[in-house]
Amino acid sequence: MGEIMLVRHGQANTGATDEASYDKLSSLGHTQSKWLGDYLHDHDMKFDRVVSGTLRRHKETRSGMGLTACAEDDRLNEMQYFPMAEALERRTGRPVPTDPVSFATHVPITMQAWKDDELSDIPETYTSFENRIWDVMQEALISDQRIVYVTSGGVISVVMARILGLEVPAMASILLQIRNSSYHRISRHNGQLHLHQFNATPHLAHPERAHALTFV
């Protein structure tokens, strides 16, 4: 049966302090997207269906990849992390992270509080986030098409956690390891989804592209 591929968007605006200003690709993010598209084309990796989230960084990534005839599905949109970080600060006094090191420490704590329904006045519950993503994957499960979904790291980490049966700490660890413009391949077998490949970045494998192996 057809394969499912999840693609994380290229590097976004890493210096942002809110959702709106984060939601656009950096110059490097555009380059990462083009390199990924070139790799897929050169290796004749074709798809029957292309779907992206509705966020700007998703659309810019799919465009940079040269993917055409794309559908959009807001169920593939990322969690809104900044409002959750602000909610955690109101509840615990833990400040919103301002650099990659503090962000890496912050994510597991925030994700656990989110799943435990300890955050108030946030755009979406963890259960709602997980369910909408899994609805997309269940629809893909009953299809025989090769589908590529252009989405975000949080979405991909939830899919990985559901497939592998992981709890929040492991899911958060996966989230922090997902590289910009990476792809992740999922196979269908006996009515279930199975992880086939995680965090692939062959388009960045050349030594001259080592600077493009980014996480944020």
pLDDT in tens, 93-113: 999 988 888 889 999 999 999
Q: What pTM was computed for the model?
A: 0.95
Q: How confident is the model at residue 1 (pLDDT cuts 50, 70, 90)?
A: low
Distance CA 152, CA 143 (A): 22
CB hemisphere CA count around 204 (13 angstroms)? 22
Residue 114: both structure tokens together: 């989110």
Instruction: Tell me the CA distances in angstroms from 184 to 4, 86, 127, 142, one per residue in order.
Output: 8, 31, 23, 19
Can you tell me the mean pLDDT for 73-102? 94
* Residues whose CB is less than 8 angstroms from the CB of residue 23 and which lie 6 or more positions away in sequence, other chains included: 12, 13, 55, 56, 57
Per the listing, tokens 């597991």 go with 108
> Mean pLDDT over residues 114-138, rounded?
97
∠ at Cα 138 (133, 144), nearest 5°? 125
Share of the chain above pLDDT 70, in %: 100
Burial of 47-84, coded b for 16+ CB within 10 Å and e otherwise, reads bebbbbbebbbbbbbbbbbebeebebbebbbbbbbbbb
Q: Topology of domain 11-78+146-161+172-207, per CATH?
A: Rossmann fold (3.40.50)
Does residue 66 register a pLDDT over 70?
yes
The C-alpha atoms of residue 52 and residue 71 are separated, in whole angstroms, by 6
For residue 201, what pLDDT is reported? 98
Helix 100-115 vs helix 168-177: angle between axes, to the nearest 10 degrees? Answer: 150
- Kindly tell me if the per-residue pLDDT of 115 is higher than 70: yes
Give residue 165's pLDDT band: very low, low, confident or very high (50, 70, 90).
very high
pLDDT at 85: 95
Q: Which two tokens stand for residue 51?
A: 């779907």
Q: Name the residue with higher pLDDT: 51 or 17.
A: 51
**Whether pLDDT at 15 is above 90:** no
Would you state the pLDDT for residue 100? 82
